[in-house]
Amino acid sequence: MNTTFERDLEAKGFIDVDIDPTIDLVSEINRLKKEKNAVILAHYYQESEIQDIADYIGDSLGLSQQAAKTDADVIVFAGVHFMAETAKILSPTKKVLLPDLKAGCSLSDSCPPHLFAKFKEQYPDHLVITYVNCTAELKALSDIVCTSSNAVQIVESLPPDQKIIFGPDRNLGAYVKKKTGRDLVLWNGACMVHEIFSQDKIEALHEAYPDAKFIAHPECEDHILAKADYIGSTSGMLKFTIEDPSQTYIVATESGILHQMQKASPTKTFIPAPPNNLCACNDCPHMKLNTLEKLYNCLYYEQPEINLAEDVILRAQKPIERMLQISAQLGL
């Protein structure tokens, strides 16, 4: 690799090499995937064209389960940095690629590991449960990881008198507290995407579509969740819209999920819940940094790659594996 290429990669976070405009990106990505024995794992918040080319599309739990069991040599993670890190922790001998290294996460950023370590010191007899939306270093400071699919069940699987710190998402933490009746100590972090839904605009939409069901992700604030007919992870919300008989849904999470909802139920209507700004729907700026072009270059050049220190991998593996074990026992 030449130094300009490396400098570019460091400054921009992705491979910025012009792609021959005459090639068919989708078939080239499929060809490279076979040639390199690579698998593309994509989160529901990715652009539709990325979801359509992925080998597996899912929520954070499903993506972790896939990353742990894949026999591919290369994992291309179409998602954000903490997700690709989780894949590397679970499959450390594999090459894990992220199309844009700058695809971060505001929730993960809201919990710097050195500050969390100090916070944790105040509660020496507490068990630490961290939401998967955090850095590998934070996972390494935890006892069990969870996702929005299993947070309630993981807390419920612990003895009732077990003291617990839950981080970094205060909204998911408050939701778990309410559902389980347990007194969790919460870290005060949040996701920028799920905290800007406008209650007034959602209520106005509901008046315009009185038969619509309102469904929301537990990263939303309590006053939004209070109005929801269903609360769940992205895959939970998708499953709900498939099984529920209603025809119209107002969906309070990142708008990328609407692609799979519409695909699974083509005759139903899905309306993204509006945020508190001039946009009609709510996109995660980090998730949307990935493009088909960056994905192609990433697979072609096998860069940017996720690398983690061995001790971080070893320490972060235990809490993630504990989550996977509990989830498997509970059939999640």
Q: How far is Cα 316 from Cα 142, in angstroms, rounded to an integer?
A: 8
Applying the rule CB under 6 A, the residues between 298 and 327 that interact with ligand SF4 are: none
- Phi and psi, residue 7, nearest 5°: -65, -40
For residue 131, give the nearest of 76, 187, 78 by alpha carbon. 187
DSSP string computed for 149-209: TTHHHHHHTS-TT--EEEESBHHHHHHHHHHH---PEEP-B--TTTT-B-HHHHHHHHHHS
Q: Which is nearer to ligand 13P, 133 or 297 (CB)?
A: 133
- 131 marked among binding-site residues: yes
- 217 marked among binding-site residues: yes
Interface segment toward ligand SF4; rule CB under 6 A; list 139-147, 204-212, 234-242, 283-291: 283-291
Interface segment toward ligand SF4; rule CB under 6 A; list 17-25, 64-72, 279-287, 297-305: 279-287
How far from chain centre, in Å, is Cα 295? 18
Interface segment toward ligand SF4; rule CB under 6 A; list 66-74, 189-197, 207-215, 301-309: 189-197
Contacts of 331 (CB under 8 A, 6+ apart): none
Applying the rule CB under 6 A, the residues between 57 and 86 that interact with ligand 13P are: 59-60
Q: How far is Cα 150 from Cα 131, in angstroms, rounded to an integer?
A: 10
Applying the rule CB under 6 A, the residues between 32 and 91 that interact with ligand SF4 are: 80
- Residue 270, strand partner residues: 249
- Angle of the 60-69 helix axis to the 81-90 helix axis, nearest 10: 30
Give the interface size with ligand SF4 as a residue count (CB under 6 A).
Answer: 12
Among 64, 66, 148, 282, binds ligand 13P (CB under 6 A): 148
Among 192, 196, 281, 332, binds ligand SF4 (CB under 6 A): 192
Among 66, 135, 147, 291, binds ligand 13P (CB under 6 A): 147
Q: Which is nearer to ligand SF4, 91 or 133 (CB)?
A: 133
Per partner kind, with CB cut-offs from 5 to 8 A, the member of ligand SF4, ligand 13P, none near residue 286 is: ligand SF4
For residue 85, give the nearest of 28, 93, 77 by alpha carbon. 77
- Residue 164, strand partner residues: 127
Q: Where are the alpha helices (DSSP H) in the chain?
A: 3-12, 25-35, 48-53, 60-69, 81-90, 106-109, 113-121, 136-140, 151-156, 170-180, 199-208, 222-225, 234-243, 257-264, 292-301, 310-329
Q: Mask 24-53, x = binds ligand 13P (CB under 6 A)?
A: --------------------x---------
Per partner kind, with CB cut-offs from 5 to 8 A, the member of ligand SF4, ligand 13P, none near residue 192 is: ligand SF4
- Tell me the binding residues for iminosuccinate: 43, 60, 131-133, 148, 217-219, 234
Binding-site ranges for ligand SF4 (CB under 6 A): 80, 105-107, 133, 191-193, 254, 284, 286-287
- Tell me the binding residues for [4Fe-4S] cluster: 105, 191, 284
